[in-house]
Structure formats: C-alpha cells, structure tokens
Chains A and B, each alone.
Chain A
Amino acid sequence: MSRMTMIEAIRDAHDVAMARDERVVVFGEDVGYFGGVFRCTAGLQKKYGKTRCFDAPISELGIVGAAVGMASYGLHPVVEIQFADYVYPAIDQIASEAARLRYRSAGDFTCPLVIRMPTGGGIFGGQTHSQSPEAFFTHVCGLKTVMPSNPQDAKGLLLAAIEDPDPVIFLEPKRLYNGPFDGHHDQPIVPWKKHDLGEVDDDYYVTPLGKAAIRRDGEAVTVLAYGTMVYVAEAAAEESGIDAEVIDLRTLLPLDIDTITESVKKTGRCLIVHEATKTGGFGAELMSQVQEACFYHLESPIIRVTGWDTPYPHAQEWDYFPGPARVIAALHQLMEE
C-alpha cells in the first residue's frame, strides 16, 4: 500500500496498464511531454515512448475519432478530454460511433477505449470548467459511465475500464484530485496523504465496474451519491445526526441497483445528491428506478439535492454547489414526512 493523491493513483493505473499490455496507448491535449494539465499522465511518455503517449491537436472529435479507429484496429486507447466541458464536439464520435460499433457490426468490430475527463466544479472554473455531463453518457446505449470518489477506487476502476471490451466514460471529479472535500469550502483541503482512502494498493488490481460501495452504514435513510458528493453526503449525515446510509455509486452505468434497493428497502427513505443540474439529470433516473423497485417500502417521497438548472457560475460557485447545508435540510425534510 502507498499513500497517493487521486492524480497519482490515476497515473499509477496508466503506468500499470501500459506495462502490462502494449496495446494500451494514451493521448490527448498536453498529455505527452507535459503530462497533462492535471499531471495525470506525467512521465508516461518518457517511460513508454512517444508513440504510446503523445500530444494531440485541439480537436476533441479528432481525439475520440482517432481512438475509435485505433480501438477497432485492436489497440486499447485511453484518451483525455482536458475538461468534461469540452467533450461536446466529440459527442457524435462517442454516441453514434464508439457506443454502437459492436452492435451495428454484430461484433465484427469492437471499441475498447476509455475516455477520461476531469469533471465537476469546486475549483473556481466558471461555466466552462465545471460541468458534470454524466447524464448525457448514461443515456447512450453501449457506453459504461464511471465516476470514482477516491484514489483507491480511481486506480482500480480505471484499470477495469482499460480492460473492459467496451467503451467507458471515465469522469474524474477534479475537486477530489488532491484531497477529499466535504463541501465546507472555507476549510483547508485535507490532503489524501492524511486520509484513509488515500491508501492505494500497489501494482495491479481492479475495482469491478457496476458495483457500488457503502461508505457509511445507517438505518434511517439511504443517500445515493457519486464523486465529490459522496463526501458532502457523509458530512451532512454526521452533522445532521441522522442515521443515514451513504452509497457511493462508483459506476452509473451499469448501475448497481441491487445494492441500492436493498438499502432503500431497509431504510424506507431515499435522498439523491449530485452536482449536475437537476432537470433530466442522473438523479431523475435514480429516482425512477428506486420508485419502481421500492415503492411499497418508501415512507416518504424521494428527494433530490442537485446543482441548479443554470450554467455553473464563477463568483457564486458555493451557492451553486450542493453543500452540506442543503443536504442536511433535505435529510430533515425526509425524516419529518
């Protein structure tokens, strides 16, 4: 075991994957010589050479389109979209091409690629460096969508994603790159090196896709969260004094609905927390699925705490971000109804 930041864990996953399998290639804007603007790929070009880790032109559709071609050839490309906000030019290549290649060719061609992208807010990135586009991807058949919340999961899930035979969208909550965050933005960041979840297994291991983790046991209410919101949910549970069970989804698609329903049937209540905007967000999907599976076990309506239906503002970042206060209020509301 070693103590690592999430950035180091992601880099370690690349390193392990590239050492294990020469079909793994890594490219994207600034990822080669410089090692990525967040340094997730630092040192890989030096270690594995320029044709296995290289810089790409500023063309997201080009990066993903090239990766689709490479994957269909038989390589396992891992590409970085510098910020999730910039993925939209590549949506056609992701949704119409990567996602459907296996299906439409009846397995004649496949597309084992990973598209990594820093996502979410909390670093004063304004409306062009803070979005959480996960719902766009969970709506596309043929993709898997993953969002880790800590270094150990980040490495294990990324290794699982790289080995997956199908395209995987790998969303990295950039607010968690250097340490956990409980939504109290006026407090100093606790580095991962001082946090239990900063412990990362050395060498190779995988965290299977499609398996959620229970981060906090509780009997009174189930809180569904992923990425940064896992810590906000945990903080809110502690501060509210309500015996909440916090589930870290880890993979949004395929969704571990069994773990979710088991918990909600036990607690009878469900709160969903995500950073993305509310309308049409992934919370709506969670709400529907929980309602379908647990209606007769519910003691109160399911509630969502999410970002507002506005672009992510710069100066009002902490009013936008769903912090513990809003989650605590929702927990009380759930318990009172």
Chain B
Amino acid sequence: MSKTAPLHLRVPEPGCRPGDEPDFSDFVIPKAGEVDRPSLDVDPNAIREMAFSIIRVLNADGDAVGPWAGTLSHDELIKGLRHMLTLRIFDERMMNAQRQGKTSFYIQHLGEEAVSCAFRKALEKGDMNFPTYRQAGLLIAGGYPMVEMMNQIYSNSKDPLHGRQLPIMYSSKEHGFFSISGNLGTQFMQSVGWAMASAISGDTRIATGWIGDGSTAESDFHAALVFASTYNAPVVLNIVNNQWAISTFQGIARGGVGTFAARGHGFGIPAVRVDGNDYLAVHAVAKWASERARAGHGPTLIEHVTYRKGGHSSSDDPSAYRAKEESDAWPLGDPIERLKQHLIHEGVWSDAQHEAAEAEIRAEVIAAQKEAEANGTLGAGKLPSPRDMFEGVYETMPPHLVKQRQEAGY
C-alpha cells in the first residue's frame, strides 16, 4: 500500500462560464509605451521578458506613446481604419447571407480586425502569407476585390476555386495569400518551407505563418519552430490568441508555460506579445519582425493577444460555453473604436466622418454583394459545372479520372 494520497489530474477551466460574472482581473496589461523596441539583430536571450509582456502603443486617452509609435502616418491610419470597417461590414453582410441560405458557412473576425489588417500593411508585394480562416483582413487590406471573395463564399459560377473549397477558404498567389487548409496547423510548417525556399533561391521575399492559440497544440507548430530556428528561415510566425478554440479556452492548449509566445524561448527564436486590438502596435511589431526576416536575422514568434467576440463560425453558439458579457468585458477593447478615438484625439477624424465612412463602405460592400449574387449563390444556383469537379486533381487528367468524368456524364 502506498502511503501517499491518490494522484489527481488538473483540467484547466476558464475564469467564467455562462451565468458567471466575467473577471479579467488576473490578466496583466502593461501600460502603453512601456515595452522597449529592440534592435533588429537583438539577441533573443536579451528580450526574454517580451514573451510575457504586451507591446502596446495606444493608451487609454487615445495617445500613441512609446518606442513602437510612429510607424504610420495619419493618412495611413485612416486607411487602416477603413480596412477594419470594411472587414467588419463585409462580415456582417456575409453572416446575414449565410443565415439567408445563400451559402453554407461563414467565419467572421469580430474584435480581431486589427491583427490581419495592420499586419498586411507591414508586408511587401511578393511576400507570402500562410493564413488561417480568420485573416481575411490580409486580403481586404491588400486590395483583393471583395466581389472575388464573395464569389468564393457563394461557390458561384465566378468562384475562382470552382466550388471546391468551403466558403472563406480563399486563395490568391498574386495577393500573397496561400490557399487555406481546414486542417489546423499544417500551414505553419509550410510557411517555414516557403521561407526556406526563398532563401535557397537567393530571393528577397519573406513568408508569414499564422496559427490559432488552440492549434499550437498540433505537432506542426513545434515542427515549424524547429525548422525555422534550425535554418534561420526568413519567416514571421504569428499566433493569434483570441482566447477561444471553438468552446475550448486558451488555457487548455497553453499548458503551464505561461504564454504562447514563451514557447519560442526553447528554440532561440525572439518571441514577443502584442496587443492585437491596437492597430498601431500590431503594425509596428509586424514591421519590426518582417524587417528582421528580410535583413537575414531569421524568424520571430509573435503572439497577438486578442479576443474572438463572435462565435467560432456561423455554426457555433458561444453562449453555450462562455458568459454573455465576457466579450464586452474584454479589457483590450475594440480595435476599431480604439483607432477611431486615436484619430479623433489627433484631430484628423471626427464622429461625423466616421459615420460617413461607414455609410460609404456599407454601400460599397452592398454593391459588391449584388454583383457577386448576380453570378449565383449556393442557395439559388448558377453553380460551377460538375465537370470542374474532375479538373485540377492532377495537371493532366489521368485515364481513370477521364473515365469517371465520362461516367458522371461530363
């Protein structure tokens, strides 16, 4: 007989569940401007504490403060605000379209618009993103036509992917947006391979990998860090910690390490956390990390600390697993509201201008939607030909597929 007490297992639980009072009191938020901005060739060991802090630029008064401020002009910030508004209105319209049966599925970005919109503006033409399904801001901010995005969402006759992919799983090589996989984590590793290929080829382009907090539990995440570190690949590795992996809170995938960014330490990769709801901070960090990669200093691991205000997807109901008030209690606020306040505070924006911009953008999104719907929707028809189903499995269709296509009547 053992003299010790029976062993027991720890199963982490989030701070609150439906019916509870949201409580973020143990979430430590550093003051804006308080985290240093290291040189591009910094020794990763010298900035270990940055994996536990949070880089922030916008303070509560709407000022841009500290060493990470000043990477964007007022004009650029107004454009950034417009990108975020576009993404939010686009999401709103497409969520409704899904509810109306015009498509099968949708994933929105509510509360996380700054992450992808700001990041995109730090990249150069030719760089390649390996995104997840929650970085459509990379396309919006990169100028990809909304009509094309909607054609894909509707799986209609003009869908660039011929109806083969789930809605929102866009692909555009020209716009530096790698084809999205629904298998989580796989593309984190691929981004490192792409970056290695760029370096092998003597190119100047860099890659970015994207992964959610929950998916960091996949082996691909760890493999990506090993390869990126070993070969000093020119890649920026982004973890978007939006607190929730469907119904599973981020503490389940995180383990006891403290932060997701801290995982970079074991690989000698500079690792930082950034306020993902602060457009200015995300842009500054993205610029720093991409400049590091381009200058040959290798990978950077960035944890974007944000909050998924909406459901995981149009199929998800978050009220079943988290407190209804939790999203409003999120202490880093709303990215659009924060940037708006900053611009008003700077005297270059106003409530009236904001309202006018919103109306203008809504009209643009509705016009794009009308144009896309004229090409068909999943619910109402004008779908790609079933013949397309057989094309593109291989560059040249092998005989057995030709036979099957004929058998199907195409």
Q: Which residues of A contact B (CB under 8 A)?
A: 25, 51-52, 56-57, 59, 61-62, 65-70, 72-75, 89, 92-93, 96-97, 101-110, 141-142, 144, 165-166, 210, 253-255, 257-258
Pairwise interchain contact B192-A69, C-beta atoms closer than 8 A: yes
Judged by a CB distance under 8 angstroms, whether B243 is at the interface is no
Judged by a CB distance under 8 angstroms, whether B74 is at the interface is no
Please give 7 more A-B residue pairs, beta carbons under 8 A apart, in addition to A68-B190, A103-B393.
A66-B193, A70-B200, A103-B164, A103-B392, A104-B179, A104-B181, A106-B171
Pairwise interchain contact B186-A62, C-beta atoms closer than 8 A: no
Interface string of B391-409 (1 = CB under 8 A from A): 0111100111000000000
Q: Which of B160, B194, B199, B219 has the most CB of A within 10 A?
A: B194
Chain B residues near A258: list those with CB within 8 A: 399
Give 7 CB contacts A-B under 8 Å.
Answer: A65-B224, A93-B186, A97-B187, A103-B393, A109-B173, A142-B393, A253-B398
**Top 3 A-B residue pairs of the complex, sorted by shortest distance between their CB atoms:** A69-B193, A65-B189, A66-B193
**Which of A25, A75, A103, A109 is close to B178, meaning CB atoms less than 8 Å apart?**
A109
Chain A residues near B186: list those with CB within 8 A: 65, 92-93, 96-97
**Which of A61, A69, A108 is close to B173, meaning CB atoms less than 8 Å apart?**
A108
Chain B interface residue count, Cβ-Cβ cutoff 8 angstroms? 45
Judged by a CB distance under 8 angstroms, whether B63 is at the interface is no
Pairwise interchain contact A105-B161, C-beta atoms closer than 8 A: yes
CA distance A253 to B393 in the complex (A): 13
Judged by a CB distance under 8 angstroms, whether B196 is at the interface is yes
Chain A residues near B171: list those with CB within 8 A: 104-106, 108-109
**Which of B179, B183, B193, B392 is close to A70, meaning CB atoms less than 8 Å apart?**
B193
CA distance A318 to B50 in the complex (A): 60
- Minimum CB–CB distance from A51 to chain B (whole Å) comes to 5
* A62 in contact with B201 given A67-B193, A68-B190 (CB within 8 Å): no
Q: Which of B195, B220, B230 has the most CB of A within 10 A?
A: B220
Closest to A73 in B: B197
Judged by a CB distance under 8 angstroms, whether B207 is at the interface is yes
- Minimum CB–CB distance from A53 to chain B (whole Å) comes to 11
Pairwise interchain contact B394-A61, C-beta atoms closer than 8 A: no
List residues of B (337-364) whose CB comes within 8 Å of A's CBs: none
CA distance A59 to B227 in the complex (A): 9
**Which of B183, B207, B223, B224 is close to A97, meaning CB atoms less than 8 Å apart?**
B183
Pairwise interchain contact B395-A166, C-beta atoms closer than 8 A: yes
Pairwise interchain contact A73-B189, C-beta atoms closer than 8 A: no
Chain A residues near B172: list those with CB within 8 A: 108
Pairwise interchain contact A62-B227, C-beta atoms closer than 8 A: yes
Pairwise interchain contact A72-B200, C-beta atoms closer than 8 A: no
Our count of residue pairs bridging A and B at CB distance below 8 angstroms stands at: 143
CA distance A156 to B223 in the complex (A): 33
Chain B residues near A165: list those with CB within 8 A: 394-395
Judged by a CB distance under 8 angstroms, whether B191 is at the interface is yes
List residues of B (205-231) whose CB comes within 8 Å of A's CBs: 207, 219-220, 223-224, 226-227, 230
**Which of B161, B183, B224 is close to A62, meaning CB atoms less than 8 Å apart?**
B224
* A92 in contact with B183 given A75-B201, A104-B164, A257-B400 (CB within 8 Å): yes
Closest to B399 in A: A254
CA distance A104 to B166 in the complex (A): 10
Chain B residues near A73: list those with CB within 8 A: 128, 193-194, 197-198, 201
CA distance A141 to B399 in the complex (A): 13
* A142 in contact with B394 given A62-B224, A66-B227, A75-B200 (CB within 8 Å): yes
Chain B residues near A67: list those with CB within 8 A: 193
Pairwise interchain contact B200-A97, C-beta atoms closer than 8 A: no
CA distance A144 to B395 in the complex (A): 12
Pairwise interchain contact B392-A106, C-beta atoms closer than 8 A: yes
Chain B residues near A144: list those with CB within 8 A: 394
Closest to A25 in B: B200
Chain B residues near A61: list those with CB within 8 A: 189, 219-220, 223
Pairwise interchain contact B400-A70, C-beta atoms closer than 8 A: no
Judged by a CB distance under 8 angstroms, whether B102 is at the interface is no
Pairwise interchain contact A69-B195, C-beta atoms closer than 8 A: yes
Chain B residues near A166: list those with CB within 8 A: 394-395
Chain A residues near B223: list those with CB within 8 A: 57, 59, 61-62, 65
**Which of A68, A104, A109 is close to B169, meaning CB atoms less than 8 Å apart?**
A104
Pairwise interchain contact A96-B181, C-beta atoms closer than 8 A: yes
- Minimum CB–CB distance from B296 to chain A (whole Å) comes to 14
Judged by a CB distance under 8 angstroms, whether B134 is at the interface is no
Chain B residues near A101: list those with CB within 8 A: 179
Closest to A23 in B: B201
Pairwise interchain contact B193-A52, C-beta atoms closer than 8 A: no
Chain A residues near B398: list those with CB within 8 A: 210, 253-254
Judged by a CB distance under 8 angstroms, whether B162 is at the interface is yes
Pairwise interchain contact A109-B226, C-beta atoms closer than 8 A: no
Chain B residues near A68: list those with CB within 8 A: 189-190, 193
**Which of A57, A105, A110, A254 is close to B230, meaning CB atoms less than 8 Å apart?**
A57
Chain A residues near B183: list those with CB within 8 A: 92, 96-97
Pairwise interchain contact B226-A110, C-beta atoms closer than 8 A: no
Pairwise interchain contact A89-B197, C-beta atoms closer than 8 A: no
Judged by a CB distance under 8 angstroms, whether B165 is at the interface is yes
Pairwise interchain contact A97-B395, C-beta atoms closer than 8 A: no
* A65 in contact with B220 given A92-B186, A104-B164, A255-B400 (CB within 8 Å): yes
Chain A residues near B194: list those with CB within 8 A: 69-70, 72-73
Pairwise interchain contact B196-A105, C-beta atoms closer than 8 A: no
Closest to A167 in B: B394
Chain A residues near B399: list those with CB within 8 A: 210, 254, 257-258
CA distance A93 to B199 in the complex (A): 22
CA distance A172 to B63 in the complex (A): 64
Chain A residues near B227: list those with CB within 8 A: 56-57, 59, 62, 66
List residues of B (148-186) whose CB comes within 8 Å of A's CBs: 160-162, 164-165, 169, 171-173, 178-179, 181, 183, 186
Pairwise interchain contact A74-B193, C-beta atoms closer than 8 A: no
Chain B residues near A107: list those with CB within 8 A: 392
